[in-house]
Amino acid sequence: MTCLPASTEKKLGLVIDLDTCVGCQACVTSCKEWNTGGHMAPLTDIDPYGGQVDGVWFNRVHAYEHTTEAGGRTVHFPRSCLHCETPACVTVCPTGASYKRTSDGIVLVDEDKCIGCKLCSWACPYGAREFDTDVGVMKKCTLCVDRIYNDNIAPEDRVPACVAACPTSARHFGDLGDPDSAISQLVAERGGVDLMPELGYRPTNKYLPPRARTERAATVPAPALEAVKVEGGFLGWVDRMLSA
Amino acid sequence: MHPAYSVIFFTTATGAGYGLLAFLGVAGGFGLIEGGFWFRLVSLGLALALISAGLLSSTAHLGRPERAWRAFSQWRSSWLSREGVASVATFVPAGLFGIGWVLLGKQGGWVAATGLLSAIAAAVTVCTTAMIYASLKPIAQWSSKFTLPGYLIFAAMTGSVLFNALLALLDEPRTPAMLFAIVSGMVGWGWKSATWQHNDSLVATTTLNSATGLAGGTVRSIEWPHTEENYLLKEMGFAVARKHAMKLRVIAQALAFAAPLFMLATAFSFSDIGGLAVVLSVAAALSQLAGMLVERWLFFAEAKHTVTLYYGR
Ligand code: SF4
Ligand code: SF4
């Protein structure tokens, strides 16, 4: 059914901290590794070693330069499905392949029903859906449904692969429908924002804007390094004479 | 947006087909035109052939065409599904109308009723097609108030110019049909110009700032997540160079509006030119259909999807 549920029991989603993301792409490769064997498998690669590399990825990390009056900064920006509350990607689907789960709000594609009309990818403003030209169906982030409820892996691993992989803890996972959850608290504390709120998709995932700049780095320069080893020869002699 | 040829052909062919069907249903069903057997057979056959060919070509761009039947199921929420249902449903009154009007050579009574129903179903189907595009918020050029009337106007315009050509060719040139083709051509030209003007002055409400949540100042893409073009860029990142777009707009206007209007006006003004009126009517229809293919190509090529913002395009 492509009609949207009036409400969902949980609103599982991600919170991404743009202050700490260093753009290392660990979440990207970890996502690909898990999901090419997961619920939406395979994440086909076309011509992977050739000049026209193409393929399906659920998570893409961009880099931007944000320039304000306070100065410029580089912001690494991971982009994936936001598991929106009112996503047109679901309602436009003619086959019922796209759906939003009532239990946890995750947006999924049933690959056995998808006819590959691509309309859902047109309806997603965020570019979260990628078409698999090899299989002929649409693919997208599953929020790792096959990890987060998986009794066969250790409880601490029952988070999306991207969250588990992030070395700077820039990615957080939890129930954004529960105002008391750690992740909701984080959003409240850091002033998390919706992407393209003007389009009315009401994304579940939130982004934490970079913290305000501090001038610490510029005002506390590290002392210049001294050579550890005493140099020999002519340069050593000059050094000794001048240091004396 | 990437202009897929199957979709360009589909929207142009079905638009003309449904337009023609509507004119035949009303004018034929109610006996406003007589028309012999051959006129009836060829014109209704052409309308249904254009519709069928368009619908078939639209399945050509599917990843899994063998599952196309599933697309009839989600009419509660999806305009694409509604289009599927409406397009197939239209064949029912159109088929009955064909039996009555063409095979039995009747008009009025139940033939008029099925003709009218065919015209209504055709209009509804064109509306559902338009709404597929008009409801896509990420594409500002499509989700505008110009899209739905545009599809209806162009269906009426191409339908009437075909109707006029078929009458001239297989029956005899008729002033009301010619007049209608001229008026709808002028309306179409005006609507398209207004649409282009509106699109050119669009102020983007969605910016890279709102797309990344980075408030204030400027945001500039300095690195893509990948080196080669991916699905998003191939499908949604298509950009036609502005100078080409301007040239193509001129070509589209010349073929779809200026030339047909000139030819039809000539045929209309000189009623005693005999065979020349037939030639002009047919040429007007061919020119307009070619022009509409260019117009539809631009409809896609000039549409900008919000995902392109992420790539700094
Ligand atoms: S981010 Fe895109 S694909 Fe994901 S739920 Fe929202 S609209 Fe749908
Ligand atoms: S591509 Fe598949 S999932 Fe997307 S709208 Fe079409 S049928 Fe639905």
Over 80: is that where the pLDDT of B193 sits? Answer: yes
Calpha distance B86→A65 (Å, rounded): 49
What share of chain A has pLDDT > 90, as a percent?
A: 83
Ligand 2 centre distance from Cα of residue B202 (Å): 29
Beta carbons within 10 angstroms of residue A11's beta carbon: 21
Residues A77-94 have pLDDT tens digits of: 999 999 999 999 999 999
**Which residue of chain A has the CA closest to B216?**
A68
pLDDT value for B166: 96
Calpha distance B256→B185 (Å, rounded): 8
pLDDT value for B242: 82
Buried b (16+ CB within 10 A) or exposed e, A130-151: bbbbebbbbbbbbbbbbbbeee
Residues B256-287 have pLDDT tens digits of: 999 999 999 999 888 676 788 899 999 999 99
Over 90: is that where the pLDDT of B70 sits? Answer: yes
Calpha distance B21→B101 (Å, rounded): 12
Calpha distance A84→A8 (Å, rounded): 11
Ligand 1 centre distance from Cα of residue B28 (Å): 48
Q: B130 is in which domain, residue-wise?
A: 5-311
pLDDT value for A228: 63
What mean pLDDT is reported for chain A? 93
Let me know how many helices (H) and strands (E) chain B has, helices first: 13, 1
Confidence of residue B172 (pLDDT cuts 50, 70, 90): confident
Calpha distance A158→A167 (Å, rounded): 17
Calpha distance B89→B109 (Å, rounded): 21
Residues in chain B: 313
Kindly report the CATH number assigned to the domain that includes residue B256: 1.20.1630
Residues A1-35 have pLDDT tens digits of: 688 999 999 999 999 999 999 999 999 999 999 99
pTM: 0.92
Give one DSSP letter per residue of B180-205, joined into a string.
Answer: HHHHHHHHHHHHHHHHHHHHHTPPPS
What mean pLDDT is reported for chain B? 95
Number of domains in chain B: 1
Q: Is the CB of A97 under 6 A from ligand 2?
A: yes
Over 80: is that where the pLDDT of A102 sits? Answer: yes
Over 70: is that where the pLDDT of A103 sits? Answer: yes
Tell me the CA distances in angstroms from B217 to A34, A70, B170, B209, one per residue in order. Answer: 38, 9, 66, 8
Q: Is the CB of A81 under 6 A from ligand 1?
A: yes
Q: What is the mean pLDDT of residues A72-76?
A: 95
A1 touches chain B (CB under 8 A): yes
Residues B137-162 have pLDDT tens digits of: 999 999 999 999 999 999 999 999 99
pLDDT value for B241: 82
Contact criterion met (CB below 8 Å) for A87 and A107: yes
Q: Is the CB of A129 under 6 A from ligand 1?
A: yes
Residues B293-312 have pLDDT tens digits of: 999 999 999 999 999 999 99
pLDDT value for A154: 96
Over 80: is that where the pLDDT of A244 sits? Answer: no
Contact criterion met (CB below 8 Å) for B142 and B133: yes
Residues A134-190 have pLDDT tens digits of: 999 999 999 999 999 999 999 999 999 999 999 999 999 999 999 999 999 999 999
Q: Closest Cα to residue B48, out of B4, B5, B100, B13?
A: B13
Q: Is the CB of A115 under 6 A from ligand 2?
A: yes
Contact criterion met (CB below 8 Å) for A184 and A113: no
Confidence of residue A215 (pLDDT cuts 50, 70, 90): low
pLDDT value for A227: 64
> Residue A101: nearest ligand to its CA?
1
Q: What is the mean pLDDT of residues B196-225?
A: 95
A99 touches chain B (CB under 8 A): no
Complex prediction ipTM: 0.94
Over 90: is that where the pLDDT of A126 sits? Answer: yes
State the first-to-last Cα distance of chain A, in angstroms, to the nearest integer: 84
**Which residue of chain B has the CA closest to A64?**
B221
Residue A160 backbone class (left: φ over 0; alpha: ψ -120 to 50; beta: rest): beta
Confidence of residue B72 (pLDDT cuts 50, 70, 90): very high
Out of A115-124, A217-226, B31-40, B66-75, pick the least confident: A217-226
Over 60: is that where the pLDDT of A219 sits? Answer: no
pLDDT value for B244: 92
CATH classification code of A12-208: 3.30.70.20
Q: At A162, phi and psi to the nearest 5?
A: -65, -35
Contact criterion met (CB below 8 Å) for B262 and B25: no
Contact criterion met (CB below 8 Å) for B239 and B259: no
For chain A, the structural domain boundaries read 12-208
Q: What is the mean pLDDT of residues B58-69?
A: 91
pLDDT value for B246: 94
